[in-house]
Amino acid sequence: MKTLKVTFACLFLAAAICPAAEDPSPEHVKWMKALGAQMGAIRKGADVTKNATDMGETMKAVAAFWDARHSEAATKASKSVIDGAAAIAKAGDDKEAVTVGMKMMGGGCKGCHDPHREKISDTESKIK
C-alpha cells in the first residue's frame, strides 16, 4: 500500500512538472498559417510592405495570447517579430534593412517555437 501511494505521488508530481502538450485553438492555427503565408510572401518579394504590416498585426494577436499565459520567452519572441515586421514595412527598397528585419522575425519565430511548439507530424504541432 505504501509503495502504491509513493508511486501515485511521483506520477502526480511528474504530471504537474511536465504538463502535456495541448491542441492549439482554431484561432491560433489561423494565426500561425497567416504568419507563415506572410513570411513566405515577404521572402518572395511579393507586396513586402503590406505583408510585413499584416504580419505585425497578426503577431499582436499572438502576443496577447501568450501574454495571457505569462510566457517570458513568447513575449520576447513576439516583440522581435513585431519589431522585425515594422522594420521591413519601413524599409521600402532597402534590401539590407529587409534582411535585418527578416532575421529579427526569424529569431522571434524560433524563440517561441523552440520552447512552446511540439511537432507531432509534418503537418501537425501542439502547444507545450
Residue 10: per-residue pLDDT: 47
- Determine the Cα–Cα distance for residues 76 and 49; give it in Å rounded to an integer: 23
Residue 17: per-residue pLDDT: 46
Extents of the domains making up the chain? 24-127
pLDDT tens profile 1-46 = 666 555 544 444 444 445 567 888 999 999 999 999 999 999 999 9
Q: At 60, is the pLDDT very low, low, confident or very high (cuts 50, 70, 90)?
A: very high
Which run of H or of E encompasses 34? Answer: helix 26-44
What topology is assigned to 24-127 in CATH?
Four Helix Bundle (Hemerythrin (Met), subunit A) (1.20.120)
The arithmetic mean of pLDDT across residues 81-110, rounded, is 95
Residue 53, C-alpha cell as written in the block:
504590416
Query: Which SS3 state, helix, strand or coil, does residue 52 take?
Result: helix
Give the CA dihedral 93, 99, 105, 107, nearest 10 degrees: -170
